[in-house]
């Protein structure tokens, strides 16, 4: 599929738009959300799982990419929930978002490197 790069770009763009909206409105809740996202994004298991998920994601089939990325991130989030013994749902949602962001970045690097751009 030629336009498969749109989905990871949309994930990253949505997070950047939320960041811009939070700065423009000086919102504490959005600042807390993005602070938690930045704090958990540098957790080593999140980094490793995001890189592996981005490398495993298929660049040829749209449905397989969606299944690999979203179901993979969900399964990894559930594994981290029980492994780290998280008691708050918001932490799991932020962790899911972090895995999606990192896997999107790795997938875009892999996708454009294979195209030779």
Query: Using CA atoms, how far apart are residues 96 and 72, in angstroms rounded to an integer?
Result: 10
Domain annotation covers residue 1: no
| Contact yes or no for 96/41 (Cβ under 8 A) | no
Per-residue confidence (pLDDT) for residue 1, from 0 to 100: 53
Nearest to 109 by CA among 54, 60, 69: 54
Q: Could you give the angle at which helices 72-84 and 44-56 cross, rounded to 10 degrees?
A: 160
What is the domain range of residue 53?
Answer: 6-115
> Is the Cβ–Cβ distance between 46 and 40 less than 8 Å?
yes
Burial of 45 (0-12, 13-18, 19+ CB in 10 A): middle
Question: For residue 61, is it within any domain?
Answer: yes
Residue 103 lies in a domain: yes
The tally of domains found in the chain comes to 1
Using alpha carbons, select from 65, 51, 56, 40 the residue that is nearest to residue 105. 51
Nearest to 61 by CA among 7, 14, 115, 116: 7
Residue-by-residue pLDDT tens, the chain, 117 positions: 578 888 899 999 999 998 899 889 988 888 888 888 999 889 899 999 999 999 998 878 888 888 889 999 999 999 999 998 888 888 999 999 999 999 999 999 998 888 766
3-state helix, strand, coil in the chain (%, to 5): 85, 0, 15
């Amino acid at each position: 599929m030629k336009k498969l790069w749109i989905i990871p770009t949309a994930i990253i763009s949505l997070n950047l738009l939320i960041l811009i909206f939070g700065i423009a409105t000086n919102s504490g809740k959005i600042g807390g959300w993005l602070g938690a996202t930045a704090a958990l994004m540098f957790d080593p298991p999140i980094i490793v799982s995001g890189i592996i998920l981005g490398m495993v994601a298929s660049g040829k089939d749209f449905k397989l990419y969606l299944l690999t990325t979203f179901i993979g991130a969900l399964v990894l989030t559930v594994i981290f929930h029980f492994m780290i013994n998280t008691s708050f749902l918001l932490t799991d949602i932020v962790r899911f978002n972090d895995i999606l962001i990192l896997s999107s970045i790795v997938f875009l690097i892999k996708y454009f490197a294979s195209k030779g751009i």
